[in-house]
Amino acid sequence: MIIAVASGKGGTGKTTVSTGLFYYLKKYHQDPVQLVDCDVEEPDCHIFLDAEWISGIPVSVSMPEINKEKCTFCGKCKETCAFNAIIMLPAAEFIEVVNDMCHACGACSYVCPEDAIREVSGEIGEINNYRWSVDNDFSEGRIKVGNTLQTRVIRQTLKYLQKEGVVILDAPPGTSCPVVAVVTKADYVVMVTEPTPFGLYDLKLMNETVRQINKKHGVVINKAGLQYDPLYQYLDSQNIPIIGEIPFKREYARFCSEGKILPAEDKKLEETFGRIFESIMNGK
């Protein structure tokens, strides 16, 4: 069973829900449970889990390297590159690949008539494995600062999912390719939102994405209690089940800012996460 926890924007409580669900299942579920932080630009589950780092696996791709001795500065590689990742100044006999813009597509080496471009391995990120209660029950993908190949790091991270039990994927915020790479893996998508105009706007985008890829889904409302009826009206009109609500409380905000897992601090929230999991199992 793979559960993706997603939200249309950052800061809505996605990590609160991922880590809360992980905590609850580790405490009460018999089968193995794994949490994988796929928010590779800013993985932050580790702040809440205080887990022991076990190992790191580099994530590499084939990057082009230009041999300036062979290059005739014909410009074919630069014209072909859809990502403007090649800088060429023929007068100065200068040509270089900007690695942070390169998408490692291989087109430049394919078109080079002089065989002046070879592909070399370049590291773009890493996968960190941790021990929370057992080895590798928590992992995270982490992209190198400035690199743009999030989806590559995510896809590599997703290769290390455990085969049995429950896997919780903390998806990146938004609705672009990296998020789609995560939610397509899931059996059920938990969409986290908050009762505000911004929360509703981003939820609509996320809902469209999830529907297009035809995934079972439900909503957890964080900061519930803020009066914003349009959110509830929208959920009703779209037949989206509310599978849990985390009340808006100053105390909860403080727990989160201190890096504490909510259901570990409040018994009522432990019950809330129990009901969330029950709803996921009934809806899958």
- Which residue from 283, 216, 276, 284 is spatially nearest to 16, judged by alpha carbons? 276
Work out how close the CB of 223 gets to ligand SF4 at its nearest, in angstroms, rounded to a whole number: 41
CB nearer to ligand SF4: give 76 or 260: 76
Pairing mode, if any, of strands 188-193 and 216-224? parallel
Going by the DSSP 8-state scheme, the letter that residue 234 receives in this structure is H
* 61 backbone dihedrals φ, ψ, rounded to 5°: -135, 165
79's tokens:
């014209």
How many residues touch ligand SF4 (CB under 6 A)?
27
Considering the rule CB under 6 A, would residue 246 count as an interface residue with ligand SF4?
A: no
- When binding is defined by CB under 6 A, the residue of 4, 33, 117, 179 that contacts ligand SF4 is 117
Cα torsion angle, 62, 68, 70, 71, sign:
positive
- When binding is defined by CB under 6 A, the residue of 38, 104, 186, 191 that contacts ligand SF4 is 104
Amino acid residing at 233: Q
Pairing mode, if any, of strands 135-143 and 2-6? unpaired
Work out how close the CB of 74 gets to ligand SF4 at its nearest, in angstroms, rounded to a whole number: 4
- Sites for ligand SF4 among residues 50-89 (CB under 6 A): 64, 66, 71-77, 80-81, 83, 85-86
Instruction: Report how far residue 251's alpha carbon sits from residue 182's, in angstroms, rounded to the nearest whole number.
Output: 32
Considering the rule CB under 6 A, would residue 124 count as an interface residue with ligand SF4?
A: no
Work out how close the CB of 151 gets to ligand SF4 at its nearest, in angstroms, rounded to a whole number: 14
Instruction: Report how far residue 252's alpha carbon sits from residue 266's, in angstroms, rounded to the nearest whole number.
Output: 9
Considering the rule CB under 6 A, would residue 108 count as an interface residue with ligand SF4?
A: yes
Work out how close the CB of 83 gets to ligand SF4 at its nearest, in angstroms, rounded to a whole number: 4
Q: Contact, 283 vs 189, CB < 8 A?
A: no
Q: Which residues contact 212 (CB under 8 A, 6 or more apart)?
A: none
Considering the rule CB under 6 A, would residue 118 count as an interface residue with ligand SF4?
A: no
CB nearer to ligand SF4: give 21 or 104: 104
Considering the rule CB under 6 A, would residue 233 count as an interface residue with ligand SF4?
A: no
Residues lying near ligand SF4 in the complex (CB under 6 A) are found at 64, 66, 71-77, 80-81, 83, 85-86, 95, 97, 102-108, 112, 114, 116-117
